[in-house]
Structure 1
Amino acid sequence: MDIRAMLEDDVATLGGAPKTSTKDFVVQKITTFIATGILKVGDPLPGERELASALSVSRETVRGAILILSNHGILSVAHGLRTVVASVDVGELAIQAARYRDIAAYNLDDVHQARLLIEAQVARAAAVKMEPSTFDYLRKSIAAQEDACDDPVRFLICDREFHTAIYRSSGNAVLADLAADLYSYLLSHRKRVVSQPGTIASSIADHRTILSGLETRDQDAAAAAFAIHETRIYTTTKLLFS
């Protein structure tokens, strides 16, 4: 599956209608990062090169998406300065933005249990159905994550792309939708967690184990790796509130 197809599938799976250009899909992705709390007002966007690498698109595509969002007043662009989030009022530009806000009303323990169940099913299905091109995409995503070890926002952007690529590969739009919704839970707080020393490195190690299970088409290994990863996320998030 090429990047255009993956971007279209991401929009369609999460309840939106595909647009006509990759630039529009990147607009959707950036506004989704804002809707889910990865990016807040005043937060700088990763540089064009880093964001293009995280999303596997060209710098020109990223530049065009940023221009669209700056024209809507969502991003602030100034010569010689980092592009920053100027508004979280993304309106209809984000994919089901209200749904991401609603997920925050759930209990952390309930979300953890739900993710364990749903991601186990997703992982098992993806281990059987994932296409070779998606394996390549996931390897590139891990490389981009390693480049973002000192940048929590950029890492979370890469992290989301890694997870949603696997969810889509399950071949079940409902499960992919549910998994993506649950993934978005407390993302604004996850930034604080991944800022702690060693946290990003641990997540990347988990991702490598997940990918290994998928590459060998081992459903049990893929599901077990997802469970370990989700439990780590749950534990570190719970410590944040203790």
Structure 2
Amino acid sequence: MASIFSSIEAPTGARLSDAIAEQIERSIVEGELRPGDALPAERELARQLSVSRPSLREALLKLEARKILALRRNAGYTVAEVTAPSLTDPLLHLMEGHGKALADVLELRQGLETMAAGLAAMRASPADIERMAEAAETMERAHQCGDAALAAEWDARLHLAVAEGAHNLALAHVMRGMFSVMREHVRRAREALFTRHDAEVNLREQHRALVEAIRARDPDAAVRAVENHLRFVREGIYAADR
């Protein structure tokens, strides 16, 4: 994490703690720091920023008060997780017995994920693409081992990795906040799809096509890959309801 931070000179007419907070915030906005990431220990972070520990401590307290950072016992400061239980909990409950809720979440995914795929094809870093590829591979291994829950988890994490690769803070914020809904939607969709003998092959090819389109920097192909994938999911859900 040393490469993320750089030395800060005391600004003229402004507090040093504000400049420190601004650099940490910028790292979060640019996707260098993600929810759950731990900051270096206070002494080490002060060294990397070339600032005093009292000024650093003041900046960290400001970011904690604004809920950008969270202080964890025995873990120091971490980037705050984005959660929205007042939004996600009712959706999770409705998806338990209402096909309409499943269809509505799928429509939401269509809008968010096509946008994410197109932007990721233009903006994703090599590290972002590697995370996508790793998620796809882990999902495939979990399926081969018969672990449906883990496969659904990594399926959802692949789609989240694409959103994070779009480097749009608002989009990533929404997708992270909706992750529990996404994961449950993916789990239920996979349950419906795997009544078909060709589901595993199709899903594997669809996810690989998405990652490869982003790797090839082809926004149109990336959007098509998402649209093809979600069309397949939609058909599987509707077929299971009939």
C-alpha deviations, 1:80-132, integer Å up to 9, x for none? xxxxxxxxxxxxx9933343223344644443333222222111111111010
* Aligned partner letter, 2:88: Y
Q: 1:153 aligns with which of 134, 149, 162?
A: 149
Give the alignment of 1:35-74 within 5 angstroms: none
Deviation at 1:176, TM superposition (A): 2.7
Q: Partners in 1 of 2:189 and 2:69 — Cα distance? A: 29
Deviation at 1:19, TM superposition (A): 5.5
2:34 maps to 9
2:163 maps to 167
Aligned residues: 173
C-alpha deviations, 1:150-186, integer Å up to 9, x for none? 2211101111211111111112232234445263463
Higher alpha-carbon Rg: 2
Moved more, 106-115 or 151-160: 106-115
1:35 maps to none
Give the alignment of 1:217-236 within 5 angstroms: 217-236=217-236
Q: 1:232 to 1:226 in 2, by over 3 A?
A: same
Contact 1:11 1:95 in 2 (8 A): no
* Aligned partner letter, 1:142: A
**Does 2:117 correspond to 1:119?**
no
**Does 2:184 correspond to 1:190?**
no
* Aligned partner letter, 2:240: L
2:128 maps to 134
Contact 2:129 2:165 in 1 (8 A): no
C-alpha deviations, 1:26-80, integer Å up to 9, x for none? xx9xxxxxxxxxxxxxxxxxxxxxxxxxxxxxxxxxxxxxxxxxxxxxxxxxxxx
Deviation at 1:17, TM superposition (A): 4.8
Q: 1:220 to 1:190 in 2, by over 3 A?
A: same
**TM-score w.r.t. structure 2 length?**
0.57
Deviation at 1:212, TM superposition (A): 1.1
- Cα RMSD over matched residues? 3.8
* Aligned partner letter, 1:163: H
By relative contact order (CA 8 Å, sep 6+), the higher-ranking structure is 1
* Aligned partner letter, 2:212: S
1:201 maps to 201
Q: Partners in 1 of 2:128 and 2:161 — Cα distance? A: 7
Deviation at 1:188, TM superposition (A): 5.1
1:102 maps to 90
* Aligned partner letter, 2:234: Y
Q: 1:9 to 1:200 in 2, by over 3 A?
A: farther
Q: Partners in 2 of 1:127 and 1:94 — Cα distance? A: 24
Q: Partners in 2 of 1:206 and 1:160 — Cα distance? A: 14
Structure 2: give runs of 5+ residues left out of the alignment.
4-27, 38-66, 95-99
After TM superposition, what 4+ stretches of structure 1 lie above 4 angstroms from structure 2? 5-8, 15-21
The 3-state SS of whatever aligns with 1:227 is helix
Identity of aligned residues (%): 16
Q: Partners in 2 of 1:162 and 1:142 — Cα distance? A: 6
Deviation at 1:227, TM superposition (A): 0.7
The 3-state SS of whatever aligns with 2:34 is helix
